């Protein structure tokens, strides 16, 4: 496609494969995709698809066995030939992309037999895309990469090649599910479930050849708003029948439909609370309708009081998900997935891991992260989130011996950061977040920096070492840099209300959203201890309940999330809180300036359009970082009265 | 008109007049209007229009003299007959409405001969109405009374009866000019000047029978955006010729067209600065084009740097209008009117009088006030602005012996608070602001409480004393009540950014808008002294420069506008600043609650729809007042650490 960035699948990445003799054994739609990929590569680089030996690469499904959705594959190299064996079409496709990732290494020396198997069942992207442009939220809610890939002017786009290209990028990092519309389901979008399912089917047809199933966000009130029933009560037989008929219609149109995503009783959305029913009742209603077809319902745990009175210190939004859902563990159907945001608040740059993720031993759960950078620079700042996600996925809710979050979660979900921007993600380097998400979803214990290596190797094939080093220098620490110049020590929510870009220290301090820092002239932070605070810390199992409960053991980076401390409190780092605030603001800006300098030195090592777009965005990032530094420093100097120990300029 | 409130002209107000024998002598379009008014009243109440005596009321123009726009009229009652003599049609119309105001008093006992002559030439309402709905500002910018009376769906409305009824209300309080579109002239609205002047002419035709001239906001860039010229440089002959042609076209369509309103070089609008020319050059360009036809240009003095860096303490937005315009005094053409906001900032609940109003001895000036309650409760709060406007108009920029602002100003302008709401102004009691503006514009030294009496008498004819007392109780102190619970001591701008409703103490503190309070842990306020601050105080003549310069002599209510003081500073009232902040917050809420209580007691004394609308709005006012109280008290307690002396709840 003219003018559209190839992302991590530039033609050049297929050179090693495309110069070889390749034998493909097996049949089925996804094998056809594999064959087309190989054929295109060979046409470009002089290799060929052969019908029998000798070959350099064998891509095979087992003879005679039924071919399903199995994702596992094995790669080995013996006797001068490389073999990828898979149990199903998806596995073969993933194996092909693994060969692409390996590059020449796939064809040189010996490769010990390696079995690749995803740790998670569903690796999903949720698009918060509206069909009709929303008057406040626009086409894509919290989208920073242009319009929707799927919808425009109130209809499905007919840009099918673009959707197919997108599916190909997703498959190449292991994603196998896409939800095509916003979790906030407005009036127009509600109709996708019934009258307009054909439009969803058209999108599904483009995603399917790359092994991606289509999911749909639906409104819990659908029986009322679409079906004309007087109730959406999950325990009413008429409601159950309505959903059964609706789901039947969906599968008539999309036989491999993935399932529903539901945001219920959240920020004004309808839900089972309206009828005095539990969220298990609500989720199980939809799960029951989907079960005969193998579909799942992703039920979001993002339920809290968004009309809180800021004067009320007893209510703690951080507690809400646990309070609502932990008591329901074990009550959800097997194909109901509780989709839990990784932190208890809302995708802040630093939050503790949600205690809900340690409280669901008898519920299938999905961890939800946000690839779209709502609170992390909105794709105008470089902020590679791999290390943050990796910390979450490696966290052990029960401490040393217990499983990690990544081991417990059946599914991983990211809110998509993709739109119809030529670079897909607005900021060209934000592609790394999408790629990293896919790979960590496949293997949550992967080293994110190795994943970044992969992304660099694919996106910039045969890049000189200087470019790879520069990209690492710019990306590796970018999340911590962003944290340094924005809200400090885990306190969160110092953003401009509404759009959430740029600083406003008190922007959410007297709001109904449950997002407070309680800074006064003496100190700052939220007391969430069991002893004197909201009790949130006690939602964790040991050892974390104890670690977080005590100022002495709480990690510095989460201190203000769990404790209200005086500005003179000495951190484990040896610095006072106030000096830490000043120092990290100054450091963060310096690091952003340094990244901009490094980037400038990479000119000439990539396509000029890509370099220039990033260079322009760095100007905005540095401007914005300085604004964060100066506003926060002035705010805390005015409040605390404590001067900077190093006498730097605070306005 | 069905369902539209009659405002201060209910049929009942015409009873005394309509029951009489009335002789009308004179001719012309406005005399026709007078005749129609009298005829309607007589048809309703049994009086008659007679061709000769005897009569109870004589409305006459002088025989044989040419009838112009003269507004003066004389009322007298001798020998059992009342006589209104006027020099022109407008005067006769205003005389008629004076008779309506007098009610039975006009026909009983003796009335000494009284000459009524407006103190100001133009008494204008500026409608910030957009033709096309603006994506951010909507149909009416800063409008709180529904859509526009003039425009809908990108075209002039055909609701001519409504416009005529509006003109009638305006004439009855003395307004003689209306600007029909927003001073921020967007692309669609720019075309009103040329291709779409016919739509303006249609509106003008409905305003004309009530003596109201139509004015138009134009963009200074019109020669470029409409005329296709490469420049709008005011000193270019081609530009001058373009404007001459454009104005010629306007007067072809609207022979009594009033003139232009221009917002130039302000908040992103184009202006003469683009071409290195002065604002006198800019204004005189348009004045020159309008002069042959007797039109005027109203040139707004609202020019400041709205991209200020909050870190820059040397720039002071309050200084900007004076710095820009005082040096130009004497350079403006005779038909160029410098339109000056009453305060140096932007219609805050309390500001000093703009020093520009004391610096224009050789320039025709207009005082601009805001009837639309952008910063004073947005027509959800009762806030009768008569006392504030009266204070401004009675202010003597040169002290004791010099003229008042009201005496110096040639024109008075209000930003309209009217829309297509059934009560015209959203809040039914906000009608009092519109009426009061018109009457104060006619006679700036009028007692506003007497004007309010008039409004009550007209709006609620034959109201029991209890209703009049109740209305006074609710309205008289409402501006000071609003001041009490919002930003204290003249400091201004503690509103939510953007829409400007509700509190956000730091909402504009780190913004580019030049609107800061500099509160820190020790004190609050802006040092605008000549000695140590921005020097703004020195823009005043003596004695005010000295009064404002000194903390000791500065009036309490403006203290934080001129000085940064410690929280412990003792006001002239004897209270500390911090205790004043707490006390007035609590008092303001109590007063709002009391007004709500008084209003509840007036049920049954007026149409239920009006009572209910106000009662509902009082719920919101009290809620909002409490929010102001609690946010401000919490903010200042957290910053100052000083507890309330009376131990009341601060969250």
What ipTM does the predicted assembly reach? 0.89
A379 and A496 co-located in one domain:
no
B651–A520 C-beta distance less than 8 A? no
Q: Same domain, yes or no, for B154 and B37? A: no
The answer as to whether B109 is a domain residue is: yes
* Nearest chain A alpha carbon to B636: A520
Other C-beta atoms within 10 Å of A588: how many?
A: 23
Residues A252 and A370 placed together within one structural domain of the fold: yes
User: Is the same domain home to A199 and A180?
Assistant: yes
Give CA A452 to chain center in angstroms. Answer: 16
Q: How many CB pairs under 8 A join A and B?
A: 53
Choose among B20, B26, B27: nearest CA to B48: B20
- The string of pLDDT tens digits covering residues B475-525 is 999 999 999 999 999 999 999 999 999 999 999 999 999 999 999 999 999
Token readout for A219 is 């409104």
Say if the Cβ atoms of B634 and A510 lie within 8 Å: yes
A311–B651 C-beta distance less than 8 A: yes
Spell out which residues of chain B touch residue A505, defining contact as CB-CB under 8 Å. Answer: 506
At residue A66 the predicted structure's pLDDT band, cuts being 50, 70 and 90, is low
User: Which residue of A133, A134, A311 to mutate against B (max B Cβ within 10 Å)?
Assistant: A311
Interface of B to A at Cβ within 8 Å reads 310-311, 503-507, 510, 519-522, 627, 630-631, 634-635, 637-641, 651
- Looking up tokens 């022979």 gives B255
Q: Is residue A500 located within the same domain as residue A608?
A: yes
Average of per-residue pLDDT across B75-85: 94
* Cβ pair A510:B519 closer than 8 A: no
> pTM to 2 decimals?
0.93
State the average pLDDT over residues B78-107: 95
Give how far A622 is from chain B: nearest CA, Å: 16
- Give the pLDDT band (50/70/90) at residue A3: confident
Active site residues of A: 267, 346, 374
Q: How near does any CA of chain B get to the CA of A138, in Å? A: 12
User: Across the interface, do B631 and A510 touch by the CB < 8 Å criterion?
Assistant: yes
Best B510, B516, B564 residue to mutate vs chain A (most A CBs within 10 Å): B510
CA B380 from chain centre, in angstroms, equals 17
Partner-chain contact A510 B521, CB within 8 Å: no
Q: C-alpha distances in angstroms, B301 versus A191, B283, B344, B361, B371?
A: 53, 11, 10, 15, 18
Task: Select the residue of A506, A630, A640 nearest B311 (Cβ to Cβ).
Answer: A630
Residues of B belonging to the active site? 267, 346, 374
H or E segment and range at residue B599: helix B577-600
Report pLDDT digits (tens) over A591-605.
Answer: 999 999 999 999 999
Domain at A599, CATH number: 3.90.1330.10
Stretch B565-581: mean pLDDT, rounded?
97
Longest CA–CA separation in chain A, Å: 80
CA–CA distance, B405 with B358 (Å, rounded to integer) = 8
Chain A residues near residue B651 by CB distance under 8 angstroms: 310-311
Domain annotation covers residue A534: no
- By CA distance, what is A138's nearest residue in B? B135
CA A556 remoteness from chain centre:
25
pLDDT at residue B65 is higher than 70? no
For residue A635, list chain B residues with Cβ-Cβ distance below 8 A.
506, 510
Looking at the predicted structure, is the pLDDT value of residue B450 above 90?
A: yes
Q: Which pLDDT tens digit goes with each residue over B132-177?
A: 999 889 999 999 999 999 999 899 999 899 999 999 999 999 999 9
Q: What are the pLDDT digits (tens) for A362-406?
A: 999 999 999 999 999 999 999 999 999 999 999 999 998 899 999
Quick: pLDDT tens for A407-432.
Answer: 999 999 999 999 999 999 999 999 99
Same domain assignment for residues A406 and A388 = yes
Q: Is the pLDDT of residue A578 over 90?
A: yes
Last-in-domain residue among B62, B82, B116: B116
Cβ separation of B519 and A634 shorter than 8 Å? no
Of B335, B323, B327, B318, give the one whose Cα is nearest residue B283.
B335
| Tens of pLDDT, residues A148-204 | 999 998 999 998 999 999 999 999 999 999 999 999 999 999 999 999 999 999 999
Chain-centroid distance of CA B412 in Å reads: 8
**From A217-226, A382-391, B67-76, the region with the lowest mean pLDDT:** B67-76
Which of B116, B144, B163 delimits the end of a domain? B116
Nearest to B638 among A520, A630, A641 (CB): A520
Residue where a domain terminates, one of A90, A116, A142: A116
Residues B638, A505: C-beta atoms closer than 8 Å: no
The CA-atom distances, in angstroms, between A425 and each of A144, A206, A213, B107 are 7, 20, 21, 79
- DSSP-assigned letter for residue A48: E
Average pLDDT over residues B594-609: 97
CATH of the domain at A354: 3.20.20.80
Radius of gyration of chain A (CA): 25
Nearest by CB: A311 against B506, B520, B630: B630
* pLDDT classification of B1: cutoffs 50, 70, 90: low
Q: Which residues of chain B lie closer than 8 angstroms to A510, CB-CB?
A: 503-504, 627, 630-631, 634-635
B638 with A510: Cβ contact below 8 A: no
Handedness of CA B34, B36, B38, B40 (dihedral sign): negative
Looking at CA atoms only, how far is residue A392 from chain B in angstroms?
34
pLDDT at position A136, please? Answer: 87
In angstroms, the CA A179 to CA A416 distance is 9
Domain presence at residue B534:
no
- Count CB atoms within 10 A of the CB of residue A556: 15
Mean pLDDT computed over every residue of chain A: 96
The predicted structure's pLDDT at residue B410: 92
Supply the Cα-derived Rg of chain B in whole angstroms.
25
d(CA A563, CA A544): 14
Regarding whether B236 and B271 lie in a shared domain, the answer is: yes
- Which pLDDT does position A112 carry in this prediction? 93
Q: Which of A243-252, A511-520, A530-539, B263-272 has the lowest mean pLDDT?
A: B263-272
Rounded CA gap, B254 and B196, in Å?
Answer: 12
State which residue of chain B sits closest to A631, comparing Cα positions. B510
Specify the length of chain B in residues: 651
B438 and B507 housed in the same domain:
no
pLDDT attached to residue A90: 96
Q: Are A522 and A454 in the same domain?
A: no
**Which pLDDT tens digit goes with each residue over B635-647?**
999 999 999 999 9
Residues B92 and B140 in one domain: no
Chain A closest-CA separation from residue B505 CA (Å): 8
% of chain A at pLDDT higher than 70: 99
Same domain, A571 and A422: no
Interchain CB distance below 8 Å, B522 and A634 = no
Structure-token pair, residue A76 = 């080995």
Contact A503 B520 (CB under 8 A): no
Do the beta carbons of residue B26 and residue B92 sit within 8 Å? yes
- Cβ–Cβ below 8 Å for A504 and B506: yes
What tokens does A370 get?
A: 């946000």
Assigned domain for B27 exists: yes
Interface test with A, best of B589, B638, B641, B649 (most A CBs within 10 A): B638
Tokens 């501006």 belong to B479
Task: Residue B22: name the closest of B79, B103, B84 by CA.
Answer: B84
Of B310, B507, B641, the CB nearest to A521: B641
> In terms of Cα–Cα distance, which of B144, B216, B139, B154 is closest to B180?
B216
Residue of A511, A638, A649 for testing the chain B interface, max B β-carbons within 10 Å: A638
Retrieve residue A441's tokens. 């979803």
- The reported pLDDT for the residue numbered B364 is 96
Examine residue A649 and state whether it is found in any structural domain, yes or no.
Answer: no
Determine the pLDDT at residue B79.
87
B581, B650 Cβ separation under 8 angstroms: no
pLDDT tens by residue, A84-111: 999 999 999 999 999 999 999 999 988 9
CATH label of the domain that carries residue A40: 3.30.379.10
| Chain B environment of A631 (Cβ under 8 Å) | 510
pLDDT at B67 over 80: no
pLDDT at A65 over 70: no
Instruction: Express the helix, strand and coil content of chain A in percent, nearest 5 each.
Output: 40, 15, 45
Do you know the residue count of chain A? 651
Residues sharing a CB contact under 8 Å with residue B483, sequence separation 6 or more, in sequence order: B349, B350, B557, B584, B588
Contact indicator for B510, A631 with CB cutoff of 8 Å: yes
Residue B322's domain comprises 122-453
Domain count, chain A: 3
**B470 domain residue, yes or no:** no
DSSP B354-413: PGGGGS-TTSEEEEEEE-S-TTTTTTTS----HHHHHHHHH--TT-TTSPPHHHH-SEEE
Identify all chain A residues contacting B630, using CB atoms and an 8 Å cutoff: 311, 510
- Quick check: is B466 in a domain? no
Mean pLDDT, rounded, for A503-518:
97
Q: What is the percent of chain B where pLDDT is above 90?
A: 94
Average pLDDT over chain B, rounded to whole?
96
What average pLDDT does this structure show over B598-610?
Answer: 96
Closest partner residue to A651 (CB to CB) among B311, B503, B506 is B311
Q: Considering only CB atoms, which chain A residues are within 8 Å of B506?
A: 504-506, 635
- Asked if the structure places residue B192 within a domain, the reply is yes
Tell me the nearest-neighbour CA distance from B296 into chain A, angstroms. Answer: 40
Percentage of chain A exceeding pLDDT 90: 94
Q: Which residues of A touch B637 (CB under 8 A)?
A: 520
Residues with Cβ within 8 Å of residue B266, at least 6 apart in sequence: B300, B302, B303, B304, B306
Q: Which range, A65-74, B263-272, B301-310, B343-352, has the best average confidence (pLDDT)?
A: B343-352
Q: Token match 């977040």: residue?
A: A433
Closest to B438 (Cα-Cα) out of B84, B29, B105, B98: B98
Chain A closest-CA separation from residue B512 CA (Å): 11
pLDDT tens per residue, range B304-358: 989 999 999 999 999 999 999 999 999 999 999 999 999 999 999 999 999 999 9
- Match 């018109």 to its residue by tokens: B438
Same domain, B241 and B387: yes
């Amino acid at each position: 496609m003219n003018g559209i960035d190839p992302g991590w699948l530039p033609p050049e990445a297929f050179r090693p494969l495309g110069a070889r003799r390749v034998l493909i054994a097996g049949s089925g739609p996804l094998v056809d995709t594999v064959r087309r990929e190989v054929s295109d590569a060979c046409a470009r680089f002089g290799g060929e698809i052969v019908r029998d030996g000798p070959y350099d690469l064998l891509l095979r499904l087992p003879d005679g066995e039924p071919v399903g959705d199995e994702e596992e594959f094995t790669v080995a190299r013996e006797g001068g030939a490389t073999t990828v064996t898979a149990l199903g079409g998806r596995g073969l496709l993933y194996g092909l992309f693994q060969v692409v990732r390996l590059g020449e290494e796939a064809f040189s020396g010996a490769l010990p037999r390696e079995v690749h198997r995803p740790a998670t069942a569903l690796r999903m992207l949720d698009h918060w895309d509206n069909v009709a442009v929303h008057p406040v939220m626009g086409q894509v809610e919290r989208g920073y990469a242009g319009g929707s890939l799927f919808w425009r002017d109130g209809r499905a786009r007919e840009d099918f090649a673009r959707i197919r290209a997108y599916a190909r990028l997703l498959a190449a990092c292991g994603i196998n599910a896409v939800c095509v519309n916003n979790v906030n389901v407005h009036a127009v979008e509600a109709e996708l479930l019934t009258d307009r399912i054909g439009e969803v089917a058209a999108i599904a047809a483009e995603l399917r050849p790359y092994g991606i199933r289509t999911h749909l966000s639906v409104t819990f009130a659908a029986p009322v708003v679409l079906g004309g029933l007087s109730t959406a009560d999950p325990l009413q037989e008429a409601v159950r029948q309505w959903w059964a008929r609706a789901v039947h219609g969906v599968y008539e149109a999309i036989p491999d439909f993935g399932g529903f995503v539901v945001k219920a009783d959240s920020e004004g959305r309808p839900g089972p609370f309206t009828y005095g029913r539990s969220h298990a009742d609500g989720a199980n209603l939809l799960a029951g309708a989907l079960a005969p077809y193998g579909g799942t319902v992703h039920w979001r745990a993002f339920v809290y009081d968004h009309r809180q009175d800021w004067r009320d210190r007893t209510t703690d939004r951080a507690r809400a998900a646990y309070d609502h859902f932990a008591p329901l563990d074990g009550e959800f159907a097997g194909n109901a997935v509780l989709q839990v945001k990784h932190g208890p608040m809302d995708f802040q740059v630093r939050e503790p891991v949600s205690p809900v993720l340690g409280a669901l031993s008898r519920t299938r759960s999905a961890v939800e992260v946000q690839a779209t950078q709502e609170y992390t620079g909105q794709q105008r700042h470089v902020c590679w989130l791999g290390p943050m996600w990796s910390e979450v996925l490696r966290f052990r809710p029960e401490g040393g011996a217990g499983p990690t979050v990544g081991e417990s979660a059946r599914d991983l979900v990211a809110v998509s950061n993709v739109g119809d921007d030529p670079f897909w993600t607005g900021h060209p380097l934000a592609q790394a977040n999408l790629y990293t998400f896919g790979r960590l979803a496949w293997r949550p214990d992967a080293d994110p920096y190795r994943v970044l290596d992969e992304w660099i190797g694919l996106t910039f094939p045969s890049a000189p070492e200087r470019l790879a080093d520069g990209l690492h220098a710019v990306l590796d620490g970018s999340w911590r840099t962003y944290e340094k110049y924005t809200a400090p020590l885990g306190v969160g929510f110092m953003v401009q209300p509404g759009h959430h870009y740029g600083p406003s220290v008190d922007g959410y301090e007297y709001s109904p959203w449950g997002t407070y820092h309680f800074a006064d002239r003496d100190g700052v932070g939220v007391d969430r201890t069991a002893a004197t605070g909201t009790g949130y810390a006690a939602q964790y199992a040991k050892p974390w309940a104890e670690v977080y409960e005590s100022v002495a053991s709480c990690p510095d980076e989460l201190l203000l999330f769990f404790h209200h401390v005086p500005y003179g409190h000495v951190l484990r780092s040896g610095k006072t809180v106030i000096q830490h605030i000043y120092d990290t603001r100054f450091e963060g800006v310096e690091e952003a300036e340094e990244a901009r300098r490094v980037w400038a030195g990479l000119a000439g090592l990539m396509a000029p359009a890509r370099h220039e777009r990033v260079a322009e965005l760095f100007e905005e990032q540095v401007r914005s970082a300085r604004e964060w530094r100066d506003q926060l420093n002035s705010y805390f100097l005015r409040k605390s009265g404590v001067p900077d120990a190093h006498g730097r300029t605070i306005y």
